[in-house]
Structure 1
Amino acid sequence: MTRLPIVVAIPTKNEAANITGAVRSAAGHFEAIVVVDSASTDGTRELAKAAGAEVIPYVWDGRYPKKKQWCLEHVRPETDWVLFLDGDETVSGELLAELRRIFLDGRRVRPAAFDIPLGYWFGGRRLRHGHTIVKRALVDRTRARFPEPDDLAAPGMGEQEGHYQPLADPVHRLRAPIEHRDLDPVRTWFERHNRYSDWEAWLEAHPEVREQIRRAKTRQGRLFHRAPLKPLLSFGYAYLYRRGFLDGRAGLDYALAMSFYRWQIGLKARELAAGRDPGDPASGSP
């Protein structure tokens, strides 16, 4: 089987529950599969190697580039195209077929990047309606780069790029999905989003950086970025407008969880504005 001229880069930290499935979904189809690991302690590296991936250790130095841009600069640089997978994501058969039509027909690939929809699982069920996230996950490293907003002092993200897209032009949207099915307990979703909300709240207190990041989002993301009443809007969009109620209990749980996430951001932002950040020793809070 002819392999796709694409390197799969999987940034990880403690993804033992998911990494074998992620690597196996891509094995044999791509030029290389490289797991870029940040000192996992749960056997992620060993499992990735056993599944057929190359493993590269990564240590963030606290500056830019962050982890994904570092991958673009250092992981198999002889291959232009990079597909980013999270450790809890898998390449669908439909996506493999679509990529083969694009990359193996002998013609030059015109787009500099591809946006790929996520097939998202929550509460043990694949959401068919309420979830609409699209990731710019496939990029030509010679024509794309992650932005470097002034957010290094922000909490919550650390080595990860924030919730923004790599900059590229032109961009094409694919139809087939990456499957995002996290096998960790749901508490890990809330733990991650608690950290993410710290970053989002910090942005609210730094509007100049918030604007830098807004410009690096998708059109839908830019519109939502400016919207008022985000917790209510988030729930109404996911559960009613996108008909998340058709996903049953999982659809309700997901809509509520995302609404709670937006509420967290607002509450933390108001706390920061009032000078009562509990994570800041200078605030006087315990």
Structure 2
Amino acid sequence: MSRAYVADRVHVRAPGKLNLFFEVGDVQDDGYHEVASAYQAVSLYEDVWAEPAADYSVSVSGTVDVSGVPEDDRNLALRAARLVAQKAGHTGGVHLEIVKHVPVAGGMGGGSADAAAALVACDALWGADLGAAQLQQLAARLGADVPFSLMGGTAIGTGRGDQLSPALAKGRFDWVIVPSGAGLSTPEVYAHLDALRTRPDILSSVRTPAVDPGVLHALRAGDPIALAESVRNDLQAAALSLRPELREALELGEEAGALAGLVSGSGPTLAFLAADPESALELQVVLSAAGYEALHVHGPVHGARVL
């Protein structure tokens, strides 16, 4: 049964994320990997507007290259809208307008943020009032990063990354991110990691991934210097092997004062941890002068919410 609309148009904003720590286990029989991740939502956002329509459609624009973002049923946000409709018993459609600021295929969960925003937007548009628990269940059906995009803040993810536990993070952490002109396929990065792990001199796998306790202690203390000593990404070796030119930017950032530099998620976006906002600004200037696009962001920030 179709529900009455409670709004003519709903605007939801959802954040991109960084993986401050990412440990990847062996490939499982189903082709997936068990992981342990420390996520932090950062102040680079996706904006999604939902409005009533007879059918399901999506339009995509933004400040980043969106040419690779599908505008059909392959779009994760559109799939999210259909899940809400099915759960709520809504028989109409929706038009989603997505304005992207998170790099596409950049390892920052932009598509997952779109999906999380669409879940919240359609729930509000249709007055479904599904509640946080049901929205999280729908999010888990859409992908490992979607539940965190709903939650925001800082969290530990296990399993496929979608089994979330909030993590206490005191204060603010400043980052400078360097997007790349071309994205990387997450499945390709994982497959390359598996290939690298057949060479024990390159990487060794772990059976039960776990987040380094040093990461949790640093977050609780609000200490970026301590956090820099523990950040790690098991996908980084694979991403750098596929895109070796990223090493030059990583080295430049670290030489220019970053406390730590790492590939974000499956890459190719790079993330540099700074001691404070002033240090982040100085690092941003150095990287920009070298010809890189550099953005200053901070975390943790809220998850998907109606504006």
Instruction: Provide TM-score, normalisation by structure 2.
Output: 0.28
From the two aligned structures, give the one with the greater strand fraction. Answer: 2
From the two aligned structures, give the one with the greater helix fraction. Answer: 1
Structure ranking higher on relative contact order (CA contacts 8 Å, 6+ apart): 2
